[in-house]
A = this chain, B = another copy of it.
Amino acid sequence: MAWHIFIPDSLLEETSDPKIRTYKVGQIGRAAAIFGVEHVWIYKAGGKDGKFIKLILEYMETPQYLRKSLIPLTKELRYVGVLPPLRTPHHKLKGRPKLGEIREGIVIRKGKRLYADIGLDELALVEGSGEGRMTFKIVSLKPLKVVPSKPEEYWGYRVHLTRKSLAKTLKKAKLNLAIATSRKGEDVRKVNLPPLEGEVGFVFGSPRKGIMEILRDFNEDYPFDLILNTIPNQKTKTVRTEEAVLATLAIFNFIRRD
Protein backbone atom coordinates (compact mmCIF):
# COMPACT_ATOMS: atom_id res chain seq x y z
CA MET A 1 0.00 0.00 0.00
CA ALA A 2 1.17 3.54 -0.76
CA TRP A 3 -0.44 6.68 0.55
CA HIS A 4 -0.96 9.85 -1.43
CA ILE A 5 -2.22 13.20 -0.20
CA PHE A 6 -3.65 15.96 -2.40
CA ILE A 7 -3.18 19.56 -1.34
CA PRO A 8 -4.48 22.67 -3.13
CA ASP A 9 -2.07 25.35 -4.34
CA SER A 10 -4.27 27.73 -2.34
CA LEU A 11 -3.19 26.18 0.96
CA LEU A 12 -1.69 29.48 2.08
CA GLU A 13 -4.37 31.84 0.80
CA GLU A 14 -5.19 33.05 4.28
CA THR A 15 -1.62 33.24 5.57
CA SER A 16 0.38 36.34 4.77
CA ASP A 17 3.26 36.12 7.25
CA PRO A 18 6.20 34.55 5.39
CA LYS A 19 7.55 32.74 8.44
CA ILE A 20 4.17 31.21 9.23
CA ARG A 21 3.71 30.30 5.56
CA THR A 22 6.92 28.32 5.72
CA TYR A 23 5.97 26.73 9.03
CA LYS A 24 2.54 25.74 7.76
CA VAL A 25 3.93 23.90 4.75
CA GLY A 26 6.24 22.30 7.30
CA GLN A 27 3.20 20.94 9.13
CA ILE A 28 2.09 19.20 5.93
CA GLY A 29 5.58 17.75 5.45
CA ARG A 30 5.69 16.53 9.04
CA ALA A 31 2.24 14.92 8.83
CA ALA A 32 3.22 13.18 5.59
CA ALA A 33 6.43 11.85 7.11
CA ILE A 34 4.95 10.75 10.45
CA PHE A 35 2.44 8.54 8.66
CA GLY A 36 4.65 7.39 5.80
CA VAL A 37 2.91 9.20 2.95
CA GLU A 38 4.84 8.51 -0.28
CA HIS A 39 3.33 11.06 -2.64
CA VAL A 40 2.26 14.64 -2.03
CA TRP A 41 0.31 16.11 -4.94
CA ILE A 42 -0.27 19.83 -5.28
CA TYR A 43 -3.27 20.55 -7.47
CA LYS A 44 -4.45 23.74 -9.12
CA ALA A 45 -7.18 25.45 -7.12
CA GLY A 46 -6.72 29.09 -7.98
CA GLY A 47 -3.83 29.64 -5.57
CA LYS A 48 -0.45 31.15 -6.26
CA ASP A 49 1.74 29.11 -4.00
CA GLY A 50 2.18 25.79 -5.76
CA LYS A 51 5.85 26.37 -6.46
CA PHE A 52 6.56 27.62 -2.95
CA ILE A 53 4.77 24.68 -1.33
CA LYS A 54 6.71 22.26 -3.51
CA LEU A 55 10.02 23.96 -2.74
CA ILE A 56 9.52 23.86 1.02
CA LEU A 57 8.24 20.26 1.01
CA GLU A 58 11.21 19.14 -1.08
CA TYR A 59 13.65 21.07 1.07
CA MET A 60 12.34 19.28 4.16
CA GLU A 61 12.40 15.89 2.50
CA THR A 62 16.00 16.21 1.28
CA PRO A 63 18.61 14.87 3.72
CA GLN A 64 20.46 17.80 5.29
CA TYR A 65 23.81 16.93 3.72
CA LEU A 66 22.35 16.99 0.20
CA ARG A 67 20.46 20.26 0.45
CA LYS A 68 23.39 22.47 -0.56
CA SER A 69 23.99 20.50 -3.75
CA LEU A 70 20.37 19.96 -4.71
CA ILE A 71 18.48 23.07 -3.69
CA PRO A 72 19.79 26.49 -4.69
CA LEU A 73 19.40 28.98 -1.87
CA THR A 74 16.73 31.49 -2.83
CA LYS A 75 14.80 34.21 -1.04
CA GLU A 76 11.88 31.85 -0.60
CA LEU A 77 13.99 29.66 1.67
CA ARG A 78 14.68 32.54 4.04
CA TYR A 79 12.66 31.05 6.88
CA VAL A 80 13.53 27.37 6.59
CA GLY A 81 15.14 27.70 10.02
CA VAL A 82 11.68 27.36 11.58
CA LEU A 83 10.97 24.03 9.86
CA PRO A 84 10.96 21.04 12.20
CA PRO A 85 13.28 18.28 10.93
CA LEU A 86 11.57 15.16 9.63
CA ARG A 87 13.92 12.71 11.35
CA THR A 88 12.89 9.92 9.00
CA PRO A 89 15.10 6.87 8.36
CA HIS A 90 16.57 8.40 5.20
CA HIS A 91 17.87 11.43 7.04
CA LYS A 92 21.01 9.76 8.31
CA LEU A 93 23.46 11.44 10.58
CA LYS A 94 27.17 11.38 9.92
CA GLY A 95 29.05 8.60 11.67
CA ARG A 96 31.04 5.57 10.68
CA PRO A 97 29.94 3.87 7.48
CA LYS A 98 28.46 0.43 8.01
CA LEU A 99 28.58 -2.43 5.54
CA GLY A 100 25.13 -2.95 4.02
CA GLU A 101 23.86 0.42 5.16
CA ILE A 102 21.47 2.23 2.80
CA ARG A 103 22.10 5.95 2.37
CA GLU A 104 20.74 8.65 0.14
CA GLY A 105 23.39 10.37 -1.97
CA ILE A 106 24.19 12.46 -4.97
CA VAL A 107 26.38 11.31 -7.86
CA ILE A 108 29.55 13.27 -8.58
CA ARG A 109 31.58 12.62 -11.74
CA LYS A 110 35.39 12.95 -11.52
CA GLY A 111 36.97 12.25 -14.86
CA LYS A 112 35.72 8.83 -15.85
CA ARG A 113 34.89 7.76 -12.34
CA LEU A 114 31.61 8.12 -10.49
CA TYR A 115 31.54 9.02 -6.81
CA ALA A 116 28.69 9.64 -4.44
CA ASP A 117 28.34 12.08 -1.58
CA ILE A 118 26.43 10.01 0.94
CA GLY A 119 26.87 12.36 3.86
CA LEU A 120 30.09 10.89 5.24
CA ASP A 121 33.56 12.35 5.57
CA GLU A 122 34.74 10.79 2.32
CA LEU A 123 33.08 10.31 -1.05
CA ALA A 124 32.16 6.74 -2.00
CA LEU A 125 33.15 5.11 -5.25
CA VAL A 126 30.05 4.12 -7.23
CA GLU A 127 29.86 0.68 -8.82
CA GLY A 128 27.35 1.03 -11.61
CA SER A 129 25.88 4.09 -13.23
CA GLY A 130 23.43 6.87 -12.54
CA GLU A 131 23.20 10.58 -11.92
CA GLY A 132 21.69 13.10 -9.57
CA ARG A 133 20.10 12.03 -6.30
CA MET A 134 20.05 8.27 -5.78
CA THR A 135 19.74 5.64 -3.10
CA PHE A 136 22.89 3.61 -2.43
CA LYS A 137 24.00 0.62 -0.42
CA ILE A 138 27.49 0.46 1.09
CA VAL A 139 29.21 -2.68 -0.24
CA SER A 140 32.81 -2.02 0.82
CA LEU A 141 34.41 0.07 3.56
CA LYS A 142 38.04 0.18 2.38
CA PRO A 143 37.80 1.57 -0.15
CA LEU A 144 34.36 3.05 0.54
CA LYS A 145 32.19 1.71 -2.26
CA VAL A 146 28.44 1.83 -2.98
CA VAL A 147 25.99 0.37 -5.47
CA PRO A 148 22.60 1.82 -6.47
CA SER A 149 20.00 0.23 -4.25
CA LYS A 150 16.44 0.35 -3.07
CA PRO A 151 15.33 1.54 0.35
CA GLU A 152 13.91 -1.03 2.72
CA GLU A 153 12.01 1.32 4.97
CA TYR A 154 10.07 4.58 4.63
CA TRP A 155 12.24 6.79 2.49
CA GLY A 156 10.43 10.11 2.30
CA TYR A 157 7.82 11.45 -0.07
CA ARG A 158 7.87 12.71 -3.65
CA VAL A 159 6.23 16.03 -4.43
CA HIS A 160 4.18 16.43 -7.60
CA LEU A 161 3.20 19.91 -8.70
CA THR A 162 0.91 19.05 -11.57
CA ARG A 163 -0.32 22.55 -12.50
CA LYS A 164 -3.53 20.70 -13.33
CA SER A 165 -6.98 20.80 -11.81
CA LEU A 166 -7.96 18.34 -9.09
CA ALA A 167 -9.79 15.81 -11.30
CA LYS A 168 -6.89 15.77 -13.77
CA THR A 169 -4.37 15.44 -10.97
CA LEU A 170 -6.32 12.54 -9.50
CA LYS A 171 -6.42 10.79 -12.88
CA LYS A 172 -2.66 11.15 -13.15
CA ALA A 173 -2.17 9.55 -9.75
CA LYS A 174 -3.90 6.30 -10.80
CA LEU A 175 -5.36 5.59 -7.39
CA ASN A 176 -7.02 2.37 -6.31
CA LEU A 177 -8.97 4.18 -3.63
CA ALA A 178 -9.76 7.90 -3.65
CA ILE A 179 -11.04 9.41 -0.43
CA ALA A 180 -12.27 12.99 -0.33
CA THR A 181 -12.45 14.74 3.02
CA SER A 182 -15.32 17.10 3.58
CA ARG A 183 -17.28 18.48 6.46
CA LYS A 184 -20.37 17.52 4.48
CA GLY A 185 -19.13 13.98 3.86
CA GLU A 186 -20.37 10.84 5.59
CA ASP A 187 -19.43 10.41 9.22
CA VAL A 188 -16.25 8.29 9.09
CA ARG A 189 -17.53 6.36 12.13
CA LYS A 190 -20.61 5.16 10.28
CA VAL A 191 -19.11 4.07 6.99
CA ASN A 192 -18.14 0.58 5.99
CA LEU A 193 -14.61 1.16 4.84
CA PRO A 194 -13.30 -0.93 1.95
CA PRO A 195 -9.93 -2.60 2.48
CA LEU A 196 -7.05 -0.15 2.26
CA GLU A 197 -4.96 -1.56 -0.55
CA GLY A 198 -2.85 -0.37 -3.46
CA GLU A 199 -2.54 3.34 -4.08
CA VAL A 200 -4.72 5.16 -1.56
CA GLY A 201 -5.33 8.88 -1.91
CA PHE A 202 -6.63 11.39 0.62
CA VAL A 203 -7.86 14.63 -0.88
CA PHE A 204 -8.06 17.92 1.00
CA GLY A 205 -9.72 21.22 0.20
CA SER A 206 -8.46 24.73 0.72
CA PRO A 207 -8.98 27.15 3.62
CA ARG A 208 -11.88 28.82 1.81
CA LYS A 209 -13.30 26.11 -0.39
CA GLY A 210 -14.27 22.51 0.02
CA ILE A 211 -13.34 19.87 -2.53
CA MET A 212 -16.74 19.87 -4.22
CA GLU A 213 -16.64 23.63 -4.67
CA ILE A 214 -13.13 23.45 -6.12
CA LEU A 215 -14.25 20.78 -8.60
CA ARG A 216 -17.27 22.91 -9.58
CA ASP A 217 -15.03 25.95 -10.14
CA PHE A 218 -13.24 23.95 -12.82
CA ASN A 219 -16.44 22.39 -14.18
CA GLU A 220 -15.25 19.03 -13.03
CA ASP A 221 -16.52 15.99 -11.28
CA TYR A 222 -14.69 12.98 -9.87
CA PRO A 223 -15.99 9.55 -8.85
CA PHE A 224 -14.54 9.42 -5.33
CA ASP A 225 -14.82 6.05 -3.64
CA LEU A 226 -15.67 7.81 -0.40
CA ILE A 227 -16.48 11.32 0.72
CA LEU A 228 -15.79 11.36 4.43
CA ASN A 229 -16.13 13.69 7.33
CA THR A 230 -13.10 12.60 9.36
CA ILE A 231 -13.79 15.08 12.17
CA PRO A 232 -17.42 14.41 13.08
CA ASN A 233 -18.93 16.91 15.53
CA GLN A 234 -16.17 19.43 15.09
CA LYS A 235 -16.64 22.33 17.48
CA THR A 236 -14.92 24.95 15.35
CA LYS A 237 -16.59 26.37 12.28
CA THR A 238 -13.73 25.34 10.03
CA VAL A 239 -10.85 22.93 10.18
CA ARG A 240 -7.69 24.09 8.44
CA THR A 241 -6.13 22.00 5.70
CA GLU A 242 -3.01 21.20 7.71
CA GLU A 243 -5.17 20.18 10.70
CA ALA A 244 -7.37 18.00 8.50
CA VAL A 245 -4.32 16.29 7.00
CA LEU A 246 -2.84 15.32 10.36
CA ALA A 247 -6.20 14.27 11.83
CA THR A 248 -7.24 12.23 8.80
CA LEU A 249 -3.92 10.43 8.50
CA ALA A 250 -3.98 9.70 12.25
CA ILE A 251 -7.39 8.06 11.93
CA PHE A 252 -6.45 5.99 8.88
CA ASN A 253 -3.22 4.96 10.54
CA PHE A 254 -5.43 3.76 13.39
CA ILE A 255 -7.71 1.92 10.96
CA ARG A 256 -5.03 0.28 8.84
CA ARG A 257 -4.17 -3.23 9.88
CA ASP A 258 -1.12 -4.11 7.77
Residues of A within 8 A of B (CB): 17, 19-20, 23, 30-31, 33-36, 81-82, 84, 86-89, 153-154, 188-189, 230-240, 243, 246-248, 250-251, 253-254, 257
The chain B residue with its CB closest to the CB of A249 is B247
Given A189-B254, A230-B250, A250-B231: A243 and B34 within 8 A (CB)? yes
**Distance (whole angstroms) from the CB of A14 to the closest CB of chain B:** 9
Identical subunits present: 2
Point out the residues of chain B lying under 8 angstroms from A19, CB to CB: 17, 19-20
Chain B residues with CB under 8 A of A30? 236, 240, 243
Whether A235 touches B189, Cβ cut-off 8 Å, given contacts A82-B20, A250-B251, is no
Q: Check B254–A254 contact: CB distance below 8 A.
A: yes
**B contact residues around A82 at 8 Å (CB):** 17, 20
Q: Which of B20, B235, B240, B253 contacts A233 (CB 8 A)?
A: B253
Contact B246 A232 (CB under 8 A): no
> Do A86 and B236 contact each other (CB < 8 Å), given the known contacts A19-B20, A251-B251, A254-B251?
yes
How many Å lie between the Cα of A235 and that of B84 in the bound state? 15
- Distance (Å) between the CB of A81 and the closest chain B CB? 8
- Shortest C-beta distance, A39 to chain B (Å), equals 14
Could you show 6 A-B contacts with beta carbons less than 8 Å apart? A23-B23, A86-B236, A87-B237, A154-B235, A243-B246, A246-B247
Partner of A235 from the list B20, B89, B237 (CB cut-off 8 Å) is: B89
User: Residues of B contacting A239 with CB < 8 Å?
Assistant: 34
